[in-house]
Structure 1
C-alpha cells in the first residue's frame, strides 16, 4: 500500500499551517466534503421545493450552494487581508436561515430571499469587528458549554440520517436503514482500531465507501440518476431573477445573521481549541468577515447565507488532521462539484443511512471536545457549575421540544430555535452576571458550588485512620483537625502524611 506522506518542510509555527502531500490533502479534503455534503444540499432542496421551482432550477440552487460553499471555504481557510480566519473550517449554506427563508418565500418569492440575504449580509459585514471584541467573554466555562451543545444539537441530524433521511419514504426508520448506519459506525471503529495511522485517520472516508458498497447489495444505493443531466454547468448570475427588497424580510434576515455570527464565533473558538492555536479578536473578525462577504455574494449565483459547518469541526477532532490546507482542498472539490453536476450526483448517491453512522462519531466527538474543555474549568467557590448546567439545559430545550417557541413572536423563535445560539447567549449572559458583575455574589456560593468543592479521592481515603469523622460537612481527624479533601494531601515536616 502506498504510504501517504507529509511534507518534509520545516515545522510550521502554527498547527493549522502544516502542509501535507497533495494526495493526502485531497483525500482528507474529500472526507470533509462527504461529511457535510448532505447538509449543504438540504437547504437548496427545501427552499427550492417551498418556492415551487422545477427540478432543473432546484438543480441550479444545489450547484450554486456547492460552488459558493467551495469559494467561501477557500476564503475562510486561505484568507485575504482582513478576510478569513485561516483555520480548518468548512463553509456552507447555513441551516439557521431555513425557517426564515421559507417564510419569506411564501410572501415574496425566492427573489425576496435573495434581496434579504444581500442586505442582511452587508449588515453583518459592518458589525463583524464588534462581534470580535467579545472574545474575552468566552472563557472555558462559556466555550465548553457551547461546544458541548453543538455536538448534542447535531445528534438529531445523525439520528435522522441513520433512519434514512426522508421522513416520507416508506422505509424511513426501518431496521435495515438503522442496521446500515450501525454497520458504517462499526467499520469506523474497526478501522480506527487498526495500527496504521493513515487508515485510522481516513476511517470516516473508508467507512462511507464500505457502507455504500453494502448499501448497493442491500438495494439502498441508486446510481441510475448519475448519467442524467448536464455534465458541466457554470452557475449563472441571477439565473432565477433579480433580487427584490422587502423591509420585513430584511429585518427577519438581520436577526438570522446575528444568529449566524454567534454560531460562527462559537465554531471558530471550537476549532481553535481543537487545533490548539491562538484565536484572538482580530482572527474572529476576519473569520466573520469571510462569512458575511461570502453571504453577500452568494445570492448573485443563486445561493444563501454562508456559515461554518459544525460537523466538520468534529472531523478535525476525530482525524487529528489540523491543516487548513486540507480543508482548502475540500473547498476546491466543492467548487468542482458545483461546476460538474455529474460528480455531485455520484456523491449524492451515498445513502443518508451511511452518513448517519459516521455522523454519530463525528457529532459525538464535538460534544466530547466540549466536555474536555469544561474539565479545565475551576468550579470551586464560584457559580461556574450553574452557568454550565443552565446554558446546556437551555440549549437542549428546542432539541427536546422542537415546538417549544411556536407560540412566541417569530423573532424569538428565529433566535432561540437554534440550540447553539440559545446556549451561547445564555452562557455569555450568565458568565457576565456571575463572573464579571460580581457585586452581590455571596461570599459562600449556593449549593451549586458548595457541593463541588469537597471531593474525596481514593488517594485521600487511603490516609484516613480510625477515629476520623464528619462534622458539619467537614472531615475531622482523630486529633480534631479538619482534613482538606481537595488539592494535595497535606504533608508533615518529614514528608509523610499527617496520619
Structure 2
C-alpha cells in the first residue's frame, strides 16, 4: 500500500474519486461536519478564554475557525498542484496545539500565538517532502507519550471551566456551576451509552445543547453579544492585529507542528488503507503540504493550525462512503458557516460550566488515544518504559509545579512551560539515544528491563495459580 519512493506520475482514478448525486453528497457531507463539529469549536473557545477575550471576540474566533477548517478541507480533498492528498480527509483546528497556544497566550498574548503559527507552519511546509521520509524519528513510543500528555495537560482547562472559568466573578466554584458541568457530562455519557450510530457520535454536540438549555432556564446564560453581531460578514484579515514573532514561542510551536505532521502521515496512510487508494511518499508529502499551508495562512484570518480529524476517518470506515467529493462538500458547508458571525456569537455564549462538562470527555479522549497508541509499543527488554516515564514527568511539571521553570531564561521557560514541548523534546531525544543509536546496547542490561521481566514472571505465576 505504501511505497517509500517519491513519484511524480499522474495518479489514476481510485475509489476516492467516486461521485454521488447532489442530494446524497450533501447529506453525507453534512454528516461528516456533525461528527466533528464539537471538536472544531472547542479549541477557539479554550484559547480565547486563556487570552481573556470578550464574548464578541470569542465568536469571531469560532467563525474564523469554521472558515479556515472548511478551506483547509477543500484544499486537502480537491488539491491544488502538489498540495493536498486528494483523499476524504476532514481538516479542523488541531487539539494537539491547544496546550502550547494557551501557554503562549497567557504569557505573551494572542499575537505571539499567531506569529509562532505562521513561522512554524512555513517551516513545516518546507520540510514536508523530507518529513515524509523522516517519520521514523516519531515512533509510537514518542507520539503516544506526547498525545497522552496533550490530553492530561488540557484537563485543568476543563476543570476551570466547570468552576466558572473566572475566579474573580461571583459564583466561581459554586455547586450550581459544578452541577451544570456534571449534568452536561451525564447527558453525554447517557447518549453515548443508550443510542447507537449517528446520535451516539453527536453526543458532544447534543450534550452542549442540553446543558445550555438547562443553563438558560436557570438564568445562567448571556447571549447579549448575539444582538451586537452581524448576521453575515466576510472573514476579517488580522482581526487581532499584526503577529508578534517570539523566538521561544516559535520553537515551542515548531515542535508541536512536527507532532501534527506525524499524525498527518499516519492519517493519510490509514485513510488510504480504508479507501483502498494508492499511497506513496509523494502523496503523503502532498497531504503534509496542505496541512502546513493552511496552518501558516490561518492566523491571517484569526484562526489556528489545522490537522486531520481522526473521528471522520472512523466515519469513512463505518459508512463505506469513500468519496473525497463528499468530504469536500462538508468542507464547503464549514466554509459558508464562517461567513455567519452571529452563529459564532451563539456558540461563544455557551456557559463555561457546560463547556467544562464536555471538556472532560473531549480532553480525556485525547489522553485515552495516547494510551491506545502506547499499547502498541513493545516494552519488553528495552528502555521504552524510561522514555514514557521521563516524557510524562516532563509534561506534567507545568501542571504539578507551575513555577518550576520561572528561574530559567524566558525563551527556555516558554518552551518547557508547555507540557507538550517538554514531553516531545525528552521523548525524541531519549528515543534517539536508546532506540536509534544502538551502539553499546546490551539485552537486559537495564534495571528497568530486569524489573519488567520480574513483573512478567510474577504475572505468569499468578495466572498459573488461578488456573490451578
Q: In which range does the TM-score fall when normalised by the shorter chain?
A: 0.7 to 0.9
Deviation at 1:398? 1.8
Q: 1:244-259 maps to which residues of 2 (within 5 A)?
A: 249=245, 251-252=247-248, 254-259=250-255
Structure 1 residue 419 corresponds to structure 2 residue 419: yes
Deviation at 1:234, TM superposition (A): 0.8
Supply the distance in 2 between the matched residues of 1:136 and 1:407 (Cα, whole angstroms).
Answer: 35
Could you say if the C-alpha distance between residues 58 and 434 of structure 1 is closer, same or farther in structure 2, counting changes exceeding 3 Å?
A: closer
- Please state whether the residue corresponding to 1:388 is helix, strand or coil: helix
Cα distance between partner residues in 1 of 2:326 and 2:158: 24
Question: Is 2:58–2:348's contact at 8 Å kept on the other side of the alignment?
Answer: no
Alignment of 1:63-82 (within 5 A): 63-76=63-76, 79-82=79-82
Alignment size in residue pairs: 436
Q: Which residue of 1 aligns with 2:186?
A: 186
Residue 426 of structure 1 and its aligned partner are, at CA, apart by 1.8
Map residues 326-475 of structure 1 onto 2, 5 A cutoff.
331-453=331-453, 454-455=456-457, 456-457=459-460, 458-461=462-465
1: distance between equivalents of 2:311 and 2:152?
12
1:376/1:325 CA distance change after superposition, 3 Å: farther
Partner of 1:22: 26
> 1:327: Cα distance to partner?
7.0
**In the TM superposition, what whole-angstrom CA distance separates every residue of 1:227-249 from its partner, at most 9, and x where no partner exists?**
322111112446777x58x8xx3
Residues 349 and 332 of structure 1, relative CA distance in 2, 3 Å threshold:
farther
Shift of 1:26: 2.1
Is contact 2:59–2:346 with CA below 8 Å preserved after alignment?
A: no
1:12-57 CA-to-partner distances (Å, cap 9, x unmatched) read: 968xx999863454245235233332421454676686xxxx9978
C-alpha change, 1:173 and 1:428, in structure 2 (3 Å) is: same
> Which of 89, 92, 101 is the aligned partner of 1:90?
92
How do 1:198-277 and structure 2 match up within 5 A? Answer: 198-237=198-237, 249=245, 251-252=247-248, 254-268=250-264
SS of the counterpart of 2:83?
A: coil
Of 322-331 and 290-299, the range deviating more from structure 2: 322-331
Larger RCO: Structure 1 or Structure 2 (Cα < 8 Å, ≥ 6 residues apart)?
2
Shift of the 371–253 alpha-carbon distance from structure 1 to 2, 3 Å rule, reads: closer
Given the two structures, how large is their TM-score scaled by the length of structure 2?
Answer: 0.77
The equivalent residue for 1:487 is none
The residue correspondences of 1:276-315 to structure 2 (distance < 5 A) are 282=282, 285-301=285-301, 303=302, 305-308=304-307, 313=310
Secondary structure of 1:339 counterpart: coil
Inter-partner Cα distance in structure 2 for 1:253 and 1:184: 35
1:276 CA drift (Å): 9.4
Scaled by the length of structure 1, what TM-score is found? 0.73
SS of equivalent to 2:398: helix
Gaps of 5+ in 2: 1-13
Tell me how far apart the structure 1 counterparts of residues 57 and 388 of structure 2 sit (CA, whole Å): 45
Query: In 1, Cα distance between the equivalents of 2:222 and 2:288?
Result: 39
Please tell me whether residue 145 in structure 1 is matched to residue 145 in structure 2: yes
Q: Which has the larger radius of gyration?
A: 1
Give the distance between the partners of 2:335 and 2:153, measured in 1 at CA: 28
Greater displacement, 179-188 / 123-132 = 123-132
Q: Secondary structure at the match of 1:90?
A: strand
Distance 2:237 2:40 in 1: 25
Aligned equivalent of 2:38, options 7, 14, 34: 34
- For the aligned residue pairs, the C-alpha RMSD in angstroms reads 4.1
